[in-house]
């Protein structure tokens, strides 16, 4: 895995330093993150199944894309960059929510993030980066909600936490 630094933040999202990404997930250091939720014109959410080879949560379904701003990068730019890198999409994104969470992950890792959630509307067919995602699908919100209830272990911990909070947003 390449050496990538994340931005460490306090509980108000003020920058307090930097740390290598895997190290931050090992010790549970709070860091800045972005999550993008892309909806099509039928109001279906584009989900991705994370690549099986990812160092955590590989093979699980999640929101359209997520990632971390690089040092000196805005969250707006990071959200757009990750959407293009992971899904090959360049649609405009709009920040709708900020929230903090502390979630245990498999392999003893911890997702302790101050997250910036973005929404977008796009009907362009994604072009997946195989290093990031194995599959994608547009699904109705009701289908996702039902599947989360029936198969919660098929989804990433942060998606299970954030999905209910974006359900009612209109874009």
Tell me which residues are annotated as active site: 66, 113
Backbone dihedral angles phi then psi of residue 106, each to the nearest 5 degrees: -60, 165
Longest dimension (CA), the chain: 42
Chain centroid, CA 46 distance in Å: 12
Distance CA 1, CA 54 (A): 10
Beta-bridge mates of residue 8: 17, 31
> Helix crossing, 157-166 with 141-150: angle to 10°?
140
Rounded-to-5 percentages of helix, strand, coil across the chain: 25, 35, 35
Residues in the chain: 171
Q: Determine the straight-line distance between the first and last CA of the chain, rounded to whole angstroms.
A: 36
HSE-CB for 65 with a 13 A CA cutoff: 27
């Amino acid at each position: 895995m390449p050496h990538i630094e994340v931005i460490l933040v306090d509980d108000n999202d003020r920058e307090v330093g930097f740390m290598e990404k895997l190290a931050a997930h090992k010790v549970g250091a709070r860091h800045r993150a972005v999550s993008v939720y892309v909806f099509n014109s039928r109001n279906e959410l584009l989900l991705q199944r994370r690549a099986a080879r990812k160092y955590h949560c590989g093979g699980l379904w999640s929101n359209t894309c997520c990632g971390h701003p690089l040092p000196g990068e805005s969250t707006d730019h990071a959200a757009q960059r990750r959407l293009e890198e992971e899904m090959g999409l360049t649609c405009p994104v709009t920040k709708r929510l900020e929230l903090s969470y502390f979630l245990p992950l498999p392999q003893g890792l911890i997702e302790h993030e101050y997250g910036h959630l973005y929404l977008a509307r796009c009907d362009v067919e994604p072009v997946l980066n195989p290093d990031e995602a194995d599959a994608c699908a547009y699904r109705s919100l009701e289908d996702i909600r039902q599947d989360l209830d029936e198969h919660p272990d098929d989804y990433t911990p942060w998606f299970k936490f954030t999905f209910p909070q974006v359900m009612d947003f209109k874009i």
